[in-house]
Amino acid sequence: MSNSWTTLRDVQKVQLEILLEFDRICRKHGLKYLLFAGTLLGAVRHKGFIPWDDDIDVCMLRGDYERFLTVCKDELDHV
C-alpha cells in the first residue's frame, strides 16, 4: 500500500525549487525582491525553512511586480 501523504519537508523542497526559479527570473531581468516574514526568519535563523513553515513570503515594489508578471509569461513558457 503506497503512502499518499506528503510531508511538510516534501512541500518545502518544492517551494525551494519555486523560489530558486523566481530568483533566476528576477536576477535575469534586474527585478528586486525581498524575503519577508517567516521566509526571512527561516533563512537567517534556521539557514533554510522554519521547521513548521509551509509557505514562501516575498515582497516586491509594484513596478518590479508588474514587470515580473510580464516577463514570467515568457520565462515560464518552457515549464
pTM metric for this prediction: 0.82
Nearest to 68 by CA among 11, 28, 15, 13: 28
3-state secondary structure of 58: strand
Mean pLDDT for all residues in the chain: 88
Cβ neighbours of 71 (radius 10 Å): 14
What burial letters (b/e) apply to 40-52, b meaning 16+ CB within 10 Å?
A: eebeeeeeebeee
Predicted confidence (pLDDT) at residue 27 exceeds the cutoff of 70: yes
Q: What tens digit of pLDDT does each residue of 50-69 get? A: 988 889 999 999 999 999 99
